Chains A and B, each alone.
Chain A
Amino acid sequence: MKENNQHTILKANQLSIGYKSKKAETVVASNINFELQKGQLIGLVGANGIGKSTLLRTLIKVQPELSGSISLNNKDLRSTSILELAKQLSIVLTEPLTSKNLSVFELVSLGRHPYTNWIGNLTEADTTIINDALVLVNILDLKDKKCYELSDGQLQKVMIARALAQDTDVIVLDEPTSHLDMYHKAYILKLLQKLTKETGKTILFSSHEIDLAIQLCDTMIVMQKDNVVCDLPCQLISKGVFNSLFPEDLIVFDDKTGSFRVTK
C-alpha cells in the first residue's frame, strides 16, 4: 500500500473511553482503533450523544482513557507531560472564550505560550509566526479588533489562527462549524483542508456536516453504537456505513450523491 511513505502521527489502540467515578465505570465507546497520518484532514462524525466529544476530550488529555492506549508521535499520551503535549497538539473548542475583551492579536499570541519565557515575552520569531498564522487564515485585517466585535465566523477563524500559532503537528477541533451559516461551514472546512495541504499538519475535527466532510476529508472516523470505523470516505460509502448511521424513518443516505435526503 502507499502508506509506506506516510508517517503516523496519532494512533488509538484498543481504546476504550468513558467516565470513571469511585463507584462505577461508564463506558461510552470501546474497541476504538485508528491511525491518523501526517498532513491529513480527518472528520469525526456520528449521531448526537454517541461520544464524539468524549473521544476528542480523551485524545486531548482532558479526561483519561479507560483502557487501551493513545500514542502521539509514537509516544504514549499518558507519559506525555502537558507542556510537551502543548507543543504537539492544539485545540479549538466549542466553549465560549472567558474574556472577549482580548484583541485578535493578543488572543493569537497566546498560542505561543508553550514556547515563551516565564513572563510570556514574544521574540521576533514569535511575532513572525503569529503574523504568518493570521495571514494563513486570512484575518490580518482583524488584527487589532476586539473579540467582542467579531462575528461567529470571524471568531472561529481567529481560534484556528491561535491553534496554528501554537505550531503543533496536530490540531483538534470540536464542532468548528456549529453556529455558522451554510457558507461559513463550507468556508471553515475548506480552510482546514487548505491548511493540511499547505502546512502538513494533521487536522482532526468533529462535525455534523457529514455531506461536507465526505467531500473534503482524507479520512473519516464514523462513530456508531457498537463500533467505530476509520477509513477513506469512498470506502465508507461503499461499505454502507452511512446508511446505518441514523434511524431510517426520516432521512436516508444516497450512495450516488454522497449526501442525506429527507424521505418523502
Chain B
Amino acid sequence: MKTNHTYSFIILIAILLFCFVLNISLGSISIPFSEVFESLFGTTQNNTYDIIINKVRLPKAITAIMVGSGLGISGLLMQTLFRNPLAGPFVLGISSGASLGVAIVILGSGLFGGIFATALISKWSVVIAASLGSFLVLLAVIAVSHKVRDTMAILIIGLMFGSITAAVVSVLSYFSSPEQLQQYIFWGFGSLSNLSWEELLIFFGIYAVGLLLSIASIKGLNSLLLGDNYAKSLGLNLKQSRFIIIVATSLIAGTITAFAGPIAFIGLAIPHLTRQIFKTTNHKILLPAVFLFGAIVMLICDSIAQVPNSDYTLPINAITALVGAPVVIWLLVRQRKMMF
C-alpha cells in the first residue's frame, strides 16, 4: 500500500515538471524545450528567449503552481472542517471580502472621487484592497468562530458575507462608469501574469506560512473525519485546531485572490479528484497529492488560456470553470454520491 503511493507521487512529480516546462515553452511565441532548459539553467545564448522566460513566463508558471496548489489545499481544509463536499476555499467569504475591497477601489472611485481616482490604475492598490477586504472578513470569521460553537454556523455566516458583498457591489456598479465596470469585471476574470519577482516573493512568503499551518493541521484534520466529539475524545484541542485551519485557509486563499483574482472551481474540484485517484481520506497523503494535482491542473489551464501561437489570452477563470465543472459532474455521475 505504501509503495503504491510512493509510485503515484513519483509519477505526479514527473508530470508536474513536464507541465512546468510545457507551460513555459508555450505562449504567443513557442520556445523549444531545449531553449527553456538552457534558459532555466542560465546557459542560453538567445537573449530574446531569455527575457521572455525570466520576465514573463517563469513568474507566471510559479504563480500558477502556487495558485493551483494553494486553492486545492485550502479547499481540502474547508471540506474536512465543514464536513461538506461542496465547501471550497471561498466559503468563508474570503473572495467576497476581496471583491468588495477591489470593487470599492475600482467602482467607488467614481462615487468618492479624490484620492481613489488617482489610485485607479495602480495594480498595488488593487492588491492592497483585495488583501484588506479578505483580511477584514477573516477577522470577522475568526471573531464569530470564537463565539459560535457550531461549525455549520460559521459556514452560513461566510455565505451571508458573500450576499452582503454582492449587494454592495451591485449598488456600486449602478453608479459607475462603463470603463470602471469593465476594469472590475476584468479583475474578476483572474490573471496569473504580470507579477514581478518582488510581488512573487511577498506572495510566496504568506503562502508558505499558510502551507506550514496546513501541514501542522494534518493530524487534527484526520481526527475531524470522525466528527467533533470523537476528535475531542482523541485529545484534539478543537477550538485551537479550528482556528489554525481557518487562519491557514484565509492566508492562502486571501493572498491568491489578492494577486490573481477570484479563481473558481480549482479549490472545489481538486480535492475530490485526488480522493478519487488516491482512494484515501488520510490527509498525510491527500495534502501533498492535492498540492501536486492543483499545481498540474493550474499549469495546464494556464497553457490553454494562453492559446499557443496566438496573441489571445482567455480569462483564466473561464478555463478553470470549463475544466473544473465537468470534473465535478463526472465524479457525481460516477459515484452517484459525493463523499469526502
In chain B, positions 240-279 with a C-beta closer than 8 Å to chain A are 275
Q: Is the CB of B223 within 8 A of A113?
A: yes
A140 to B227, CA, bound (A): 24
Q: Is the CB of B281 within 8 A of A120?
A: no
In chain A, positions 104-134 with a C-beta closer than 8 Å to chain B are 106-107, 110-111, 113-114, 116, 118-120
Q: Is the CB of B233 within 8 A of A91?
A: yes
With both chains docked as a complex, state the minimum distance between the C-beta of A32 and any C-beta of chain B, in angstroms. Answer: 21
Q: Is the CB of B226 within 8 A of A101?
A: no
Q: Is the CB of A101 within 8 A of B281?
A: yes
Q: Is the CB of A118 within 8 A of B216?
A: yes
Contacts of B280 in A (CB 8 A): 103, 106
Q: Is the CB of B339 within 8 A of A166?
A: no
A148 to B281, CA, bound (A): 13
With both chains docked as a complex, state the minimum distance between the C-beta of B273 and any C-beta of chain A, in angstroms. Answer: 14
A16 to B83, CA, bound (A): 34
| A151: interface (CB < 8 Å) | no
Q: Is the CB of B219 within 8 A of A86?
A: no
A106 to B219, CA, bound (A): 12
Q: Is the CB of A62 within 8 A of B226?
A: no
With both chains docked as a complex, state the minimum distance between the C-beta of A131 and any C-beta of chain B, in angstroms. Answer: 14
- Closest B residue to A166 by beta carbon equals B234
With both chains docked as a complex, state the minimum distance between the C-beta of A112 and any C-beta of chain B, in angstroms. Answer: 9
Contacts of B216 in A (CB 8 A): 118
A60 to B275, CA, bound (A): 33
Contacts of A99 in B (CB 8 A): 80, 83, 225-226, 281, 339-340
Q: Is the CB of A83 within 8 A of B281?
A: no
A86 to B219, CA, bound (A): 15
A81 to B219, CA, bound (A): 19
Contacts of B284 in A (CB 8 A): 119-120
Q: Is the CB of B229 within 8 A of A106?
A: no
Q: Is the CB of A148 within 8 A of B226?
A: no
Interface mask (B74-105 → A, CB under 8 Å = 1, otherwise 0) = 00000010010000000000000000000000
Interface mask (B201-225 → A, CB under 8 Å = 1, otherwise 0) = 0000000000000011011001111
Interface mask (B182-215 → A, CB under 8 Å = 1, otherwise 0) = 0000000000000000000000000000000001
Q: A98-B224, A99-B339, A118-B216 are in contact. Are A113 and B281 (CB under 8 A)?
A: no
| A100: interface (CB < 8 Å) | yes
Q: Is the CB of B227 within 8 A of A95?
A: yes
| A27: interface (CB < 8 Å) | no
| B235: interface (CB < 8 Å) | yes
With both chains docked as a complex, state the minimum distance between the C-beta of A158 and any C-beta of chain B, in angstroms. Answer: 11
With both chains docked as a complex, state the minimum distance between the C-beta of B217 and any C-beta of chain A, in angstroms. Answer: 10
A62 to B83, CA, bound (A): 20
In chain A, positions 76-97 with a C-beta closer than 8 Å to chain B are 82-83, 85-87, 89-91, 93, 95-97
Contacts of B281 in A (CB 8 A): 99, 101-103, 106
A209 to B224, CA, bound (A): 31
Q: Is the CB of B223 within 8 A of A95?
A: no
Contacts of B275 in A (CB 8 A): 101
Contacts of B237 in A (CB 8 A): 82
A61 to B225, CA, bound (A): 20
Q: A90-B233, A113-B236 are in contact. Are A97 and B226 (CB under 8 A)?
A: yes
Checking B222, B227, B234, B339 against A86 with a beta-carbon cut-off of 8 angstroms, the contacting residue is B234
| B230: interface (CB < 8 Å) | yes
With both chains docked as a complex, state the minimum distance between the C-beta of B109 and any C-beta of chain A, in angstroms. Answer: 46
Q: Is the CB of B235 within 8 A of A82?
A: yes
Q: Is the CB of B227 within 8 A of A106?
A: no
Contacts of B80 in A (CB 8 A): 99
Contacts of A120 in B (CB 8 A): 218-219, 222, 284
A252 to B235, CA, bound (A): 44
Q: A101-B275, A110-B223 are in contact. Are A119 and B218 (CB under 8 A)?
A: yes
| B282: interface (CB < 8 Å) | yes
Q: Is the CB of B229 within 8 A of A110?
A: no
Q: Is the CB of A98 within 8 A of B227?
A: yes
Checking A91, A107, A118 against B219 with a beta-carbon cut-off of 8 angstroms, the contacting residue is A118
Q: Is the CB of A60 within 8 A of B225?
A: no
Q: A97-B226, A116-B219 are in contact. Are A148 and B235 (CB under 8 A)?
A: no
A107 to B224, CA, bound (A): 11
A186 to B184, CA, bound (A): 66
Contacts of A114 in B (CB 8 A): 234-235
Q: Offer 8 A-B interface pairs, CB within 8 angstroms, sorted by A.
A: A95-B227, A99-B226, A101-B275, A102-B225, A110-B223, A110-B226, A113-B223, A119-B218
Instruction: Given contact pairs A100-B339, A106-B282, enumerate 19 new A-B contacts (beta carbons under 8 Å).
Output: A60-B233, A87-B235, A91-B229, A91-B230, A93-B230, A98-B224, A99-B226, A99-B339, A102-B225, A106-B280, A110-B222, A110-B225, A113-B219, A118-B216, A118-B219, A119-B215, A119-B218, A120-B218, A166-B234
**Lowest 4 CB-CB distances: which A-B pairs, in order?**
A86-B235, A83-B235, A120-B219, A99-B225
